[in-house]
């Protein structure tokens, strides 16, 4: 039996094989998986928002923002013994659940989250090897640290393995 670790909104967790990391009901949020396949150490961050600079508080939780969650997650993984140079990434989520025309771009938070995650990952030289992003539906994702597989479950849009 492997342990299944739940990652809630704005959380980030790292784990070693044979554990699995799971996050339920991703909507506009983005699930960012980081993985060192040599050490079989995985990490999952449930990112809510693109940019920590817009936070009105200084002592924010780093797991909320794309630009800070990825750094924080990498640190957690390093603690378990992951090698930063081996880390690759898989991302899922960033949907726009409601189609509403709006004068500002807050409605497109999902898309902006995905862009911010991409920007941050390229800044720290982590390659995105697979992704299932945007669209207008929710996703539940589970990452298997043993195999490096990410399953993406949806309602009415099938199951995908990345």
Partner 1 sequence: MYTDFEIDALKEIGNIGAGNAATALSTLLSKKIIIKVPQIKIIPFDEVSKSVGGPEKLVVGIFMRITGDIDGNILIIIPEKDAYNLTETLLSKEKDGDLDFSDMEKSALLELGNIVGSSYVVALSDLTKLSLKVSVPSLAFDMAGAIISFPLSLYGYMGDTAFLIDTEFTEGLDGTKLHYFLIPDDESLKLLLKAIGVNTIEHIDPSGNGGV
Contacts with partner 1, residue ranges (CB under 8 A): 8-11, 24-29, 48-49, 54-57, 60-61, 64-65, 95, 97-100, 102, 106, 109-110, 136-140, 155-156
Min dist. Cβ of residue 110 to partner 1 (A): 8
Query: Based on CB atoms, which residue is closest to partner 1, 19 or 22?
Result: 22
* Distance of alpha carbon 34 from alpha carbon 10, whole angstroms: 16
Strands (E), the chain: 4-6, 12-16, 20-26, 30-36, 41-47, 87-93, 127-133, 139-144, 150-153, 159-161
- Can you tell me whether residue 136 is helix, strand or coil? coil
SS3 161: strand
- Between 129 and 137, whose beta carbon lies closer to partner 1? 137
Q: Which is nearer to partner 1, 87 or 91 (CB)?
A: 91
Minimum CB separation of residue 28 from partner 1 in Å reads 5
Q: Is 29 a catalytic residue?
A: yes
Rounded to a whole number of angstroms, the minimum distance from the CB of residue 38 to partner 1 is 32
Whichever of 6 and 79 has its CB closer to partner 1, that residue is 6
Q: Which of 19, 21, 29, 114 is catalytic?
A: 29
- Token representation of residue 28: 């506009």
Please answer whether residues 48 and 64 qualify as being in contact, where contact means their C-beta atoms are separated by less than 8 angstroms: yes
Residues with active-site annotation: 29
């Amino acid at each position: 039996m492997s342990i299944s670790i739940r990652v809630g909104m704005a959380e980030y967790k790292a784990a070693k094989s044979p554990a699995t990391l799971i996050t339920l009901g991703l909507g506009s949020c983005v699930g960012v998986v980081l993985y060192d396949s040599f050490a079989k150490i995985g990490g999952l961050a449930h990112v809510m928002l693109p940019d920590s600079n817009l936070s009105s508080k200084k002592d924010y939780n780093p797991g909320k923002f794309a630009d800070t969650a990825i750094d924080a997650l990498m640190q957690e993984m390093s603690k378990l013994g992951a090698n930063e140079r081996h880390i690759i990434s898989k991302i899922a989520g960033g949907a726009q659940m409601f189609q509403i025309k709006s004068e500002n771009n807050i409605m497109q938070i999902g898309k902006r989250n995905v862009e911010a995650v991409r920007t941050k990952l390229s800044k720290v030289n982590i390659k995105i090897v697979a992704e299932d992003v945007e669209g207008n539906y929710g996703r539940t994702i589970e990452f298997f640290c043993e195999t490096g597989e990410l399953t993406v479950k949806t309602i009415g849009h099938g199951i995908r393995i990345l």
